[in-house]
Amino acid sequence: MAIICTNLPAAWLVTELEQTHAKPVFDSTLVTIWHALRLAGLHDVLDGWGDLFRHPLEVGPARGPVRFTLERG
């Protein structure tokens, strides 16, 4: 699930939405902050802001473009 709007203050709802829908939720503001922290070399686990901040990503060798499959329902 993606929330793409900086005018919608949804960052604080991400954890609740993930628990309710059993799906990952990506808020555009949080993803931007997460990326800026990683670029700054910070990889701390932060609770209360969804799975993106709670679990470090496994990064492997580059394998070309990433493709996503969207599910309906």
CA distance 49 to 26: 10
pLDDT for the residue 17:
93
Give the contacts of 66 (CB within 8 A, at least 6 positions apart).
none
* Across 9-13, 41-45, 69-73, least confident range: 69-73
Instruction: Judge whether residue 19 has pLDDT over 80.
Output: yes
Section 4-19 average pLDDT: 86
Tell me the pLDDT band of 20, cut-offs 50, 70 and 90: very high
* 25-63 residue pLDDT tens: 999 999 999 888 888 888 888 888 899 888 766 655 555
CA distance 70 to 43: 28
